[in-house]
Amino acid sequence: MVPRIALQAFKELKKTMTITKICRLLNVPRSTYYRWREQYTNAMRCVDLKQSRDVCKKDAMFKIKSRRL
């Protein structure tokens, strides 16, 4: 099972079921679910951080170029 797809399924099913029931249904240990969730959220934070750094660098370059004009 692919963690990202499983986490999407968990997200949808969490509205009506508990995590324990979903884990039983998908035959995934609870510890694995929490490990996937932690890894996925950490990965997303890294991606967001990289994107925000890129935006800041572009903004800084624009400001530097604007001052020179």
Supply the range of the domain harboring residue 24. 3-68
Q: What is the mean pLDDT of residues 46-69?
A: 59
List the structure tokens of 3.
Answer: 């963690």
Number of domains in the chain: 1
Give the global pTM: 0.56
Rg of the chain over Cα atoms, rounded to whole angstroms, equals 20
Render pLDDT for 6-30 as a digit per residue (tens, 0 to 9): 888 888 888 999 999 999 998 999 9
CA–CA separation, 1 and 62 (whole Å): 45
pLDDT at 6: 82
Q: What is the pLDDT of residues 26-55, one digit of tens each?
A: 899 999 999 888 888 766 665 555 666 666
- Please give the pLDDT value at position 47: 57
